[in-house]
Amino acid sequence: MPDTPPRPEPFLARTPPALLEDLRARLRATRWPDEPEDAGWSLGTDLGYLRELVAYWADGFDWPAQEAALARLPRFRVALGGLGIHFVHARAVAPAGPVLPLVLSHGWPDSFWRYAKVIPLLTDPGAHGADPADAFDVVVPDMPGYGYSDRPAGPPLDSIAVAGLWAELMDVLGHRRFGAAGGDIGSHVSRYLGLDHPDRVVAVHRTDGGVPVYGGDPADLAPEERAWFDGAAAWGAAEGAYAALHRTKPQTAAFGLNDSPAGLAAWIVEKLRAWSDCDGDVERSFTKDEILTNVTLYWLTGTIGSSMRMYRANAAIPPAQLARRVEVPSGFSLFPGDIVRPPRAWLERTANVVRVTEPARGGHFAAFEEPELYARELRDFFRPYRSAFAR
């Protein structure tokens, strides 16, 4: 008798009031560290700002309202690879032409939250001043160990394995061919979708070129590539301690971050500020409610440790995998506030590049920071592939 195919089930998150009371009690009982005078953000998260954020989290932030807003997205769970995977599956509204399915992959430190603003712009472009013919069917999964997806009980999954799960998910949803897009770890996942499933992926869009790894003679690199490698190394020395910890001893940090909501907020908000196009003021890119929605998702799901462990899995990917070139048509939108932006020479070395743009605004979290710009980038890039998909 054939196996029964996985069946997605509607998903609705409802947080018990007792969990929110526990959260508020922990916030009010925070044991604050000292801080050198005038340190600001130079040593990490600014004490004054975090006190303000935590006070609002404890006594002003309305999680039930945010939870209800997220519940308006069509959300599901399905069993894949022995794990329950949570995802958004939003269908195109009143399409005026071929509808291209699109899977969007998030990174760290976030979840499906990254794309919450951009989903309606992609499914119903006509309602937002764009061409209805550019509508997508949008799928936004939480990676295993993030958000409302299950945490792997054994070793964490790497980006190659997650790409395999997403290919299976798209099959379950009836999307035999589709586009893939993402940034951060989601950029890696999208890359491996193109590498390992080129018969199914019509094109890949990314907002970065990944971590620079090159096994050949450095003399063979173009001058701008060598400069980029040097810049990435300098960035790693100044800003990369978090990633080294995630790759090596994530469990040690997880004890504190999973126990202290103030500590969790400090770990995440510093990256939201440093990696966004906010000119040092995190609330130019994210409101307090937006920041705390992201952090509260981590708190309530208990996924900070499991999310960090994916860095360890990705660090073990063999160099031969990292050296593969993506032959599926690839596009890149390099936002000005993002970190370690690659030169075109590197992109063309590693992928079949058909389009590179540099939008005027936005950073590492461009889909959330500048959803209209990001949606336009995706519509423009994938437009030529709709007719091929229709055939």
Domain positions in the chain are 20-28+43-390
* 5: confidence class by pLDDT, cuts 50, 70, 90: confident
pLDDT of residue 1: 42
pLDDT of residue 212: 86
Strand 201-206 to strand 178-182: parallel, antiparallel, or no bridges (unpaired)?
parallel
Going by C-alpha positions, the residue among 155, 148, 12, 21 that lies closest to residue 86 is: 148
Distances in Å between the Cα of 336 and the Cα atoms of 135, 183, 340 are: 27, 14, 10
Signed CA dihedral, 251, 252, 253, 255: sign only: positive
pLDDT of residue 96: 80
pLDDT of residue 216: 87
150 catalytically annotated: no
Average pLDDT over residues 145-156: 97
Looking at the predicted structure, is the pLDDT value of residue 211 above 90?
no
Average pLDDT over residues 132-159: 97
End-to-end alpha carbon distance in the chain: 34
Q: Which of 89, 124, 364, 385 is catalytic?
A: 364
* 316: confidence class by pLDDT, cuts 50, 70, 90: very high
Going by C-alpha positions, the residue among 314, 240, 237 that lies closest to residue 271 is: 240
* 58: confidence class by pLDDT, cuts 50, 70, 90: very high
Average pLDDT over residues 59-71: 98
pLDDT of residue 313: 97
Average pLDDT over residues 357-383: 98
Predicted structure pTM score = 0.96
Task: Tell the residue number behind the tokens 């590539």, with chain if given.
Answer: 225
* 9: confidence class by pLDDT, cuts 50, 70, 90: very high
pLDDT in tens, 119-132: 999 999 999 999 99
Classify each residue of 41-70 as buried b or exposed e, where b means 16 or more C-beta atoms within 10 Å of its C-beta.
eeebbbbebbeebbeebbeebebeebbeeb
Looking at the predicted structure, is the pLDDT value of residue 288 above 60?
yes
Q: How far apart are CA 346 and CA 349, in angstroms?
A: 5
* 136: confidence class by pLDDT, cuts 50, 70, 90: very high
Radius of gyration of the chain (CA): 21
311 catalytically annotated: yes
Distances in Å between the Cα of 120 and the Cα atoms of 67, 88, 92, 298, 371 are: 17, 12, 9, 24, 10
Q: Which of 184, 208, 277, 338 is catalytic?
A: 184
pLDDT of residue 238: 94
Task: Tell the residue number behind the tokens 């999680």, with chain if given.
Answer: 63
Please give the CATH topology (third level) of the domain spanning 20-28+43-390.
Answer: Rossmann fold (3.40.50)
Q: Which of 49, 192, 311, 385 is catalytic?
A: 311
pLDDT of residue 131: 95
Average pLDDT over residues 74-84: 97
Going by C-alpha positions, the residue among 267, 269, 248 that lies closest to residue 259 is: 267
Classify each residue of 180-202 as buried b or exposed e, where b means 16 or more C-beta atoms within 10 Å of its C-beta.
bbbbbbbbbbbbbbbbbbeebbb
pLDDT of residue 290: 98
pLDDT of residue 237: 94
Q: How far apart are CA 306 and CA 303, in angstroms?
A: 5
Q: How far apart are CA 118 and CA 267, in angstroms?
A: 25
56 catalytically annotated: no
Q: What residues does 179 pair with on adjacent strands?
A: 102
- Report the C-alpha dihedral over residues 141, 195, 176, 331, rounded to 10 degrees: 70
pLDDT in tens, 157-180: 999 999 999 999 999 999 999 999
Signed CA dihedral, 259, 265, 268, 271: sign only: negative
pLDDT > 90 in the chain, percent: 93
Looking at the predicted structure, is the pLDDT value of residue 2 above 60?
no
Classify each residue of 207-239 as buried b or exposed e, where b means 16 or more C-beta atoms within 10 Å of its C-beta.
bbbbebebeeeeeebeeebbebbebbeeeeeee
Task: Tell the residue number behind the tokens 């069993």, with chain if given.
Answer: 79
Looking at the predicted structure, is the pLDDT value of residue 109 above 70?
yes
Q: Which tokens is 52 given?
A: 């303000």
pLDDT in tens, 172-201: 999 999 999 999 999 999 999 999 999 999
pLDDT in tens, 15-53: 999 999 999 999 999 999 999 999 999 999 999 999 999
Mean per-residue pLDDT of the chain: 96
pLDDT of residue 130: 95
